[in-house]
Amino acid sequence: MNHEEARSQIGNRLRLARENAGLTQSFVARELGLHRPAISEIEAGRRRLSAEELAVLCDLYDVSSAWVLENRSEAPDAAVELAARRLAKLKPEDLDAVLNLLRTLKPGESDNG
């Protein structure tokens, strides 16, 4: 694999991770102190990123650098990631209520297909 292909794959994984995290390019750019087009260029594989930028992105997206750089683990499931972020923000008593509700569901009961 050449450098351009590697950058493209890294960019695609960063885009997927950003989308799974529910973040906009504009928000990420502000966090990195960059302009929004720089994030677009990174995600398109046309701009190199520094180790520091990679570390911030991995932290923002809650993914490992191993996954971003080498795809060594599976991509996070967008629905699970969203649910985890939302559940983490609940008050303890609300979380208990949601968990109790989930315990009453049978596998496949909430599937739409």
Rounded distance, CA 36 to CA 30, Å?
8
Tens place of pLDDT per residue across the chain (113 aa) = 788 888 999 999 999 999 988 899 999 999 999 999 999 999 999 999 999 999 999 999 988 888 899 877 555 667 777 777 788 888 889 888 888 888 888 665 554 44
Residue 73, pLDDT score? 59
**Around Cβ 16, how many Cβ atoms within 10 Å?**
18
Residue 113, pLDDT score? 42
Are the C-beta atoms of residues 75 and 67 closer than 8 Å to each other? yes
Number of helical (H) and strand (E) elements in the chain, helices listed first: 7, 0
Rounded distance, CA 86 to CA 6, Å?
33
pTM for the complete prediction? 0.63
**Around Cβ 3, how many Cβ atoms within 10 Å?**
9
